[in-house]
């Protein structure tokens, strides 16, 4: 079985991870983010060959709303 490697964004102990193979690029995480730190990443494509999500980790407050709303469990937030 293939190991799925996440994209990691780290800053001062904060970690935001996104699993491109699981992301269907629905954009729910971008819409719900209260600090608007999530945006489309055109360089890394997801499950359907569309852009995935990237995080401005320095401004992320780790509220985990993106993790909870993701229907495909493609986001993990750790502190």
Task: Give the pLDDT of residue 3.
Answer: 58
Task: Give the pLDDT of residue 39.
Answer: 98
**CATH numbers and ranges of domains, the chain:** 7-78 (3.30.70.20)
Q: Could you tell me the CA-to-CA distances from 18 to 6, 13 in Å, in that order?
A: 5, 17
Q: Are 66 and 75 in contact (CB under 8 A)?
A: yes
pLDDT tens for residues 24-51?
A: 999 999 999 999 999 999 998 888 889 9
Q: What is the pTM of this model?
A: 0.89
Stated length of the chain: 79
């Amino acid at each position: 079985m293939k190991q799925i490697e996440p994209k990691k964004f780290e800053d001062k102990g904060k970690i935001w991870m996104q699993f491109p193979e699981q992301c269907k690029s629905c954009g729910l995480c971008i819409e719900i983010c209260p600090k608007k730190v999530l945006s489309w990443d055109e360089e890394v494509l997801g499950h359907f060959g569309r852009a995935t999500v990237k995080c401005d980790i320095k401004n992320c407050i780790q509220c985990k709303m993106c993790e909870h709303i993701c229907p495909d469990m493609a986001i993990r937030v750790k502190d």
